[in-house]
Amino acid sequence: MRQTMPSSPRPLLVDWQWQDQAACRGMSSSVFFSPSGERGRARRDREEQARRICAGCAVTDRCAATALAHEESYGVWGGLSGKDRRRLGTDPADADQGVHSS
């Protein structure tokens, strides 16, 4: 019996096309994701740098909502760190509240 991949109601690539407009496109992921063992001031400084980039981005809300919907544990997405997202919960509608606060 031949098995086939389940079909998605819509193409997955469509869900990620917003990233083409992201301010971080082409940047090193090291600004948005911490190296192993990063703590304290180094982490705060790196996350603040990422937040500044996110603040000027056209797709910040979509990015944060995606991270919340997919329960991303790591990295700064849409101006929100993993800790910020855990505080908000996993409802993508919560992203607007968190993105605009410091």
Q: What is the pTM of this model?
A: 0.73
Is 73 within the bounds of a domain? Answer: yes
Name the 3-class secondary structure at 77.
strand
The number of folded domains in the chain is 1
Is 46 within the bounds of a domain? Answer: no
Q: Which residues pair with 68 in a beta bridge?
A: none
Given a cut of 90, is residue 61 above it in pLDDT? yes
Query: Which tens digits make up the pLDDT trace of 71-90?
Result: 899 999 999 999 999 998 75
Is 24 within the bounds of a domain? Answer: no
Is 40 within the bounds of a domain? Answer: no
Q: How far apart are CA 83 and CA 87, in angstroms?
A: 6
Q: Which domain range does residue 102 map to?
A: 59-102
Tokens of 5: 């991949």
- DSSP letter at 80 equals B
Residue type at 1? Answer: M
- pLDDT averaged over every residue in the chain: 82
Is 15 within the bounds of a domain? Answer: no
Is 69 within the bounds of a domain? Answer: yes
Tokens of 84: 């910020």
**Nearest in space to 71 (alpha carbons), one of 90, 96, 97:** 90
